[in-house]
Amino acid sequence: REALARFEDKLDVLRRFLLTENEKYNLTALTEAEDVSAKHFFDSFAAAPLLPCGASVCDVGCGAGFPLLPLALARGDCTFLGVDATEKKVNFVRAASSLLALENCRAEHLRAEELCSSRRESFDIVTARAVADLAVLCEYCLPLLKEGGLMIAYKGPGAKLELDGAKKALSLLGGSAENVIGYSLPTGEERALVLIRKTGQTPLKYPRGGNKPRLKPLK
Ligand code: SAH
């Protein structure tokens, strides 16, 4: 019961901290408490039961900490690293993480492609929400995963179509589509988790430099 109260308190603290800091730094498009609960918290929790016990997790393009912070709150047994290309968002995530006393959660101001040089093939799980088209996202995420690891992409109703468009990227990068899990938010909006298993090593030439993953997607 005490643990549950602490959990709810922390969600409350995070919601308030996000909304006040957002006024100063413009961190997220959502400015209403209800939206933060449904579209950030509830949505972020969707992948919580999919993380293996003790997993090391990287959240690529974590922005203001989604799904990173709710997952780190829900899964104290796992360790989390969030990376984002925007410094003010990383600063917010660090501040939020220490406010919530999340000892299992760190954040770095880095592009995913840069993280690949120090942490290649080293995570059990890589998550990403609202970062890029799936084909592009695969080039950011798959190099970071250990063989046998799982990429979890948070997507909208177009998930299956995006997956069709990522076939070439998957075969070049050593990934294979495992499942698409549909769910809906309390607002009724449809969401889906796209699960991609890393089944083979990613060739060292990926991710390509110079923003090529985005400019010349593997399609
Ligand atoms: N995941 C958060 C933020 C989504 S906005 C959420 O769902 O609320 C997309 C974020 O991805 C931005 O903060 C942007 O800085 C970051 N981003 C885009 N490409 C990136 C890359 N290659 N490496 C790291 N961060 C990236």
Residue 25's pLDDT is 94
Which of 42, 44, 66, 84 to probe ligand 1 with, by most ligand atoms within 8 A of CB?
A: 84
- Taken as a whole, the chain contains a residue count of 219
CB 196 within 8 A of CB 204: no
Residue 2's pLDDT is 83
- Within 6 Å (CB) of ligand 1, which residues are found? 60-63, 66, 83-86, 89, 111-113, 129-131, 140
Residue 208's pLDDT is 98
Question: Which of the four pLDDT bands, split at 50, 70 and 90, describes residue 57?
Answer: very high
Question: Which of the four pLDDT bands, split at 50, 70 and 90, describes residue 5?
Answer: confident
Per-residue pLDDT for 19 more than 90? yes
Q: How close is the Cα of 179 to the center of ligand 1, in Å? A: 23
Residue 1's pLDDT is 79
Per-residue pLDDT for 48 more than 90? yes
CA 199 to chain centre: 20
Per-residue pLDDT for 74 more than 90? yes
Per-residue pLDDT for 99 more than 90? yes
Residue 194's pLDDT is 98
Atom of ligand 1 nearest to the CA of 84: 25
Instruction: For residues 16-25, give the mean pLDDT.
Output: 96
Amino acid symbol at 45: F
Q: How close is the Cα of 61 to the center of ligand 1, in Å? A: 3
Per-residue pLDDT for 173 more than 90? yes
Question: Which of the four pLDDT bands, split at 50, 70 and 90, describes residue 148?
Answer: very high
- By mean pLDDT, which of 2-6, 120-124, 146-150, 171-175 is the weakest? 2-6
Detail the DSSP E strand segments found in the chain: 56-60, 79-84, 105-109, 123-129, 145-155, 175-184, 190-198
Q: How close is the Cα of 5 to the center of ligand 1, in Å? A: 31
Which of 80, 115, 131 to probe ligand 1 with, by most ligand atoms within 8 A of CB?
A: 131
Residue 161's pLDDT is 97
For residue 18, how many C-alpha atoms fall within 13 Å in the half-sphere facing its CB? 28
pLDDT single digits (tens) 174-209: 999 999 999 999 999 999 999 999 999 999 999 999
Q: How close is the Cα of 76 to the center of ligand 1, in Å? A: 24
| Token pair recorded at residue 83 | 């990376």
For residue 59, CA distances in Å to 12, 62, 86, 186 come to 22, 6, 14, 23
Q: How close is the Cα of 37 to the center of ligand 1, in Å? A: 20
